[in-house]
Structure 1
Amino acid sequence: METLAERRVAVIIEDDTDIRHLLETVLEQAGFEVVATSNGLDGIAAVREHKPLVTTLDVSMPGIDGFEVAKRIRVFSPTYLVMLTARNEEIDLLQGLDSGADDYVTKPFRPRELRARIEAMLRRPRAHGAVAPEAAAVHAAVSPVAEAHGAGDPGALGAHRALGAHVDGGRAIEAGGASVADSANATDAEWLRHNGLQLNFSSRIVTLEEVEVDLTRSEFELLAALLESGRRVRNKQDLALLLRGEAYLTSGFVSETDKRAVEVHLTNLRRKLGDSAQSPRFIETVRGVGYRLSAARA
């Protein structure tokens, strides 16, 4: 059976003609077969028919908006989904991520930055802990047109640790269908523990007082980073680079939208853990700096 990786199809859902043509050029020069649509219903049909590896999605479109389109796509497709929008308020960002988007890019955007974000997504594992091979191909097929549009944009990308998860509707689930019961024989070294919270890298299971907690991929990666770091503070730029697959870069462009995305993910993570920012059991906010693990409790 032909896989998403083998097809290398990208679907564009964008009602602005100029932006749609620019996206077509960038993605075609990056080695994708591109299917372009101008509204949500046609876009959903194209994703269903062509099973794309990557889908770009405008938020403000006639008919159903991008948030609703994303929800409908997530019912049947694991495509990497990038929302493109002029909206940059936190409520819009939250709604986009909750709709199932893998990334959220505000307009006007730089084509090279968009391509870099897609490269980073393609390095994120989709199944059985294997890192997707598409990133090298996309990076090698740099578009001259995209370069011209994005001159001066940082393009170097770092490696990202493969955590090994299936993604279904934007949600992280255990590789190979693992469950808490299945992980009973896991070695103690595979678990990170803190104040009744446990995280297992290989099975991507998180439990709180032995009850499994359902996290998205981004929430899992943020929690894993904080558990690994202990009381060392992780700033928002550092965490944003981690989510973009650039955890080992010493520097990189991080927008205010990226930082707000980290805040949104951590707010959702705290809510799922029943944690309080005012009296944290798990995650402390270090005002003006970032986040760290709370103190251990006896």
Structure 2
Amino acid sequence: MEIGQSHVAVVVTPSATVRALLEMVLEQEGFKAIFFSTPQEALNLLRESVPSLLILDEGLEPDAFSVSGRLKMIRRLREMPILILVSEHDDRTRVTAELSKVDHVIPKPFESRHLRSLLRSLLRSNSTQEATSR
């Protein structure tokens, strides 16, 4: 599957509820959402393309923080924003996110208004980066 020029969000979650909520918010913000249940499934797409955004839900195997850390070591994926959805957002989570080079940690249950604001901010920063690289 090839990703075109539109804004694409790859989401990895085993939860149908999280998927439904994210699908609605992402589509409202102009993203094409591609969903996977496991990180291994998403990696096949990431080998070929770089999406505008990657959202990982906690509870994955391997865990979302490990996946993020590994992906950030790949040069062409380094600038791809990674968001992780977590049920507990404490100091330990914050430190783990920093070490794993996660761009944003979003506590669950997430507020769609907060997520929309974050998505708009990411789109603006992507547009600015694209304009300065020309």
Supply the distance in 1 between the matched residues of 2:20 and 2:129 (Cα, whole angstroms).
27
Measure, in 1, the Cα distance between the counterparts of 2:109 and 2:81.
21
CA distance in 1, matches of 2:22, 2:129: 22
Aligned to 2:113: 112
State how 1:159-198 maps to structure 2 within 5 Å: none
Corresponding residue for residue 159 of structure 1: none
Deviations along 1:89-138, whole A, 9 cap, x unmatched? 211111112212111111011111111012123333x6xxx7158xxxxx
- Pairwise CA distance, 1:44: 2.7
CA contact (8 A) 2:29 2:119 kept: no
Instruction: Specify which structure has the bigger relative contact order, considering alpha-carbon pairs within 8 angstroms and separated by 6 or more residues.
Output: 2
CA gap 1:49/1:29 in 2 versus in 1, 3 angstroms: farther
Asked if the contact 1:41/1:64 (under 8 Å) is kept, the reply is: no
Contact 2:29–2:120 (CA under 8 A) maintained in structure 1: no
Q: CA RMSD in A?
A: 2.3
- Aligned 8 A contact 1:47 1:73 in 2: no
Letter in 2 for 1:84: L
The CA deviation string for residues 121-167 of structure 1, in whole angstroms up to 9 with x for no partner, is: 3333x6xxx7158xxxxxxxxxxxxxxxxxxxxxxxxxxxxxx7xxx
- 1:59 pairs with 2:39: no
Aligned: 1:74 with 2:72: yes
| TM superposition outliers: structure 1 runs of 4+ over 4 Å | none
Report the structure number with the largest CA radius of gyration: 1
Return the offset for 1:42. 1.6
Cα offset, 1:87, TM superposition: 1.9
- Answer yes or no: is 1:131 the counterpart of 2:132: no
User: How far, CA to CA, are the matches of 1:39 and 1:97 in structure 2?
Assistant: 23
Question: Mapping of 1:127-276 within 5 angstroms?
Answer: 131-132=128-129
Query: Which consecutive residues of structure 1, in runs of 5 or more, have no partner in the other structure?
Result: 134-163, 165-174, 176-298
Q: Is the Cα–Cα contact under 8 Å of residues 11 and 46 in structure 1 kept in the other structure?
A: no
Q: How has the CA–CA distance of structure 1 residues 53 and 96 changed in structure 2, closer, same or farther, with 3 Å as cutoff? A: same
Larger helix fraction of residues: 2
Unaligned regions of 5+ residues in structure 2, if any? none
What is the deviation of 1:54? Answer: 1.0
Match of 1:210 in 2: none
Residue 13 of structure 2 is matched in structure 1 by 14
For residues 94 and 82 of structure 2, the distance between their equivalents in structure 1, rounded to whole angstroms, comes to 14
What does residue 194 of structure 1 align with? none
The number of residue pairs the alignment matches comes to: 127
Aligned to 2:33, the other structure's residue is in SS state: strand
| Residue identity in the other structure for 1:131 | T
Q: TM-score, normalised by structure 1?
A: 0.39
The residue identity in structure 2 corresponding to 1:96 is: A
